[in-house]
Amino acid sequence: MLLDEPFLALDAITREEISITQHTLRLEERPTVLLIIHGVAEAAFLADRVVAMSPRPDRSRAGSPSICCGHGRIAPAFNAVAVAIHQFLR
């Protein structure tokens, strides 16, 4: 499934609810999803792996190692994953 900024037009409360639902689905069902997002916190919460696009649109930089933050946004592991993504993008 390809999702391009799927939560962009949602209000904050609905975005959070849908994001948690998608996260739970990912952990339970393990679907194959290419999720295009621009937010680091969202990527840390929703992704198993992050791939950054280079300035040239048809190229991608190497992906980060498989990362999973299945403990939720308040867990210390979440901050570690978000920091790792920030460092990867620099």
User: Global pTM?
Assistant: 0.61
Give the torsion through C-alpha atoms of 10, 16, 19, 21, to 10 deg.
-110
Amino acid at 35: L
pLDDT of 86: 75
Secondary structure class of 53 (helix, strand, coil) = strand
Tokens found for residue 65 = 């190692």
CA dist 65 and 21 (Å) reads: 24
What pLDDT, in 10s, does the model give residues 6-56? 888 999 899 889 988 988 888 899 888 888 888 877 877 787 777 777 666
Distance of CA 28 to the CA centre of its chain: 16
